[in-house]
Structure 1
Amino acid sequence: MPATPDLGTRTPQLASPDLLRSVFRRHAAGVAVITASGGAGPVGFTATSLSSVSAQPPMLSFGISTGASSWPAISGADHVGVHILGEHQEQLAATFARSGADRFGAPTAWREGPEGVPVLDDVLAWLVCRVVARVPAGDHRIVVAEVVLGDPAGSGRPLLYHQGRFNGLRD
């Protein structure tokens, strides 16, 4: 039987949304923007849940709340864009995270890319992916997508999200 860990004077908390948020504030994550074509125009949102799933075939996943304004478009999209943001793009990340923002208006620079997916300019890297599954997970869906093509050649350092703020890497 494993030994009981010494927790000192700390008392563990029961599972709750607040516990999960508190723990993940301590987890530094890369920042991505997910885009898709929508019926009324392009949609997009900031995601820190991006994950590599498989190298063969090349696949990734990300989570999206079913209450998100982008969910209706993402729920029916055949393809999505995945953009890895650089530390110089804190404002872009904030714009795509803000409810009610004009995410594709100035100063956001973008173009229509392959499969009609909105592709953001000046990012560290971008991919266009074919959606292969939307897996229910509580009040979210985990979207699994297969990479179709992309460009990994942007320059700069990655933008991170930690302790509720966007940050760059420290030297």
Structure 2
Amino acid sequence: MTAPSDLVTPTAFQPASPGLLRSVFRRHAAGVAVITARGARGPVGFTATSLTSVCAEPPMISFGVGTGASSWPAISRTEHLGIHLLGEHQEELAATFARSGADRFAAPTAWRDGPQGVPLLDGVLAWLVCRVVARVPAGDHRIVVAEAVGGDSTGAGRPLLYHEGRFNALRD
């Protein structure tokens, strides 16, 4: 079987570096989520593509967050947070929560207070409220491990993806 010409045959070894890691993960399509929490001065949130299902019993997830991120102080102290899976119709919402200095919860962002005071975004494909169980140091980030305590998976639509440095939709 012949490999397509645009695929790389593993032959050249490059030492690990931040640039190599970024380059490799630009090729990895990931679902787009927004993580929210209640901070001392109001709701906080950020766009994440590092969301991972850890286990089903108990239902646990993980994600990475930079310790220099504006949301980190609230995430570092909160007991509960929200996980929101975005649909392909929510590219602008994803961009808003990824933009530094943006007023992420101002109009047109539609949201409400949910269980445990967690800010919940409207119109998402699915959401969870989770209880934080661990914050694990990982370089200039923390891996947050949280147990789902409730949520809703009945939103309609197709997922928003992040690939090659931009938001994308699934192809038919």
Structure-2 residue corresponding to 1:77: 78
Percent of residue pairs identical: 79
User: For 1:69, what is the secondary structure of its paired residue?
Assistant: coil
Matched AA of 2:168: N
Structure 2 CA distance for aligned equivalents of residues 163 and 39 of structure 1: 35
Structure-2 residue corresponding to 1:135: 136
CA offsets 1:75-97 (integer angstroms, 9 cap, x no match) = 00000000000000000000000
Deviation, 1:7, is 4.4
Structure-2 residue corresponding to 1:170: 171
Structure-1 residue corresponding to 2:58: 57
Q: Aligned in 2, Cα 1:7/1:78: closer, same or farther, shift over 3 Å?
A: closer
Structure 2 matches for 1:1-171, cutoff 5 A? Answer: 7=10, 11-171=12-172
TM-score (norm 1): 0.94
Tell me the number of residue pairs that the alignment of Structure 1 and Structure 2 aligns: 164
Structure 1 CA distance for aligned equivalents of residues 87 and 73 of structure 2: 27
User: For 1:95, what is the secondary structure of its paired residue?
Assistant: helix
Q: Aligned in 2, Cα 1:7/1:57: closer, same or farther, shift over 3 Å?
A: closer
Matched AA of 1:24: F
CA offsets 1:31-76 (integer angstroms, 9 cap, x no match) = 0000000001100000000000011000000000001000000000
Structure 2 CA distance for aligned equivalents of residues 70 and 7 of structure 1: 39
Matched AA of 1:167: N
User: For 2:23, what is the secondary structure of its paired residue?
Assistant: helix
Structure 2 CA distance for aligned equivalents of residues 58 and 14 of structure 1: 37
Structure 2 CA distance for aligned equivalents of residues 116 and 12 of structure 1: 49
Deviation, 1:12, is 2.2
Structure 2 CA distance for aligned equivalents of residues 92 and 77 of structure 1: 23
Structure 2 CA distance for aligned equivalents of residues 7 and 154 of structure 1: 41
Q: Aligned in 2, Cα 1:13/1:115: closer, same or farther, shift over 3 Å?
A: same
Structure 2 CA distance for aligned equivalents of residues 135 and 147 of structure 1: 18
- C-alpha RMSD of the superposition: 0.9
Structure 1 unaligned runs (5+)?
1-5
Matched AA of 1:39: A
Structure 2 unaligned runs (5+)?
1-8
Deviation, 1:13, is 1.5
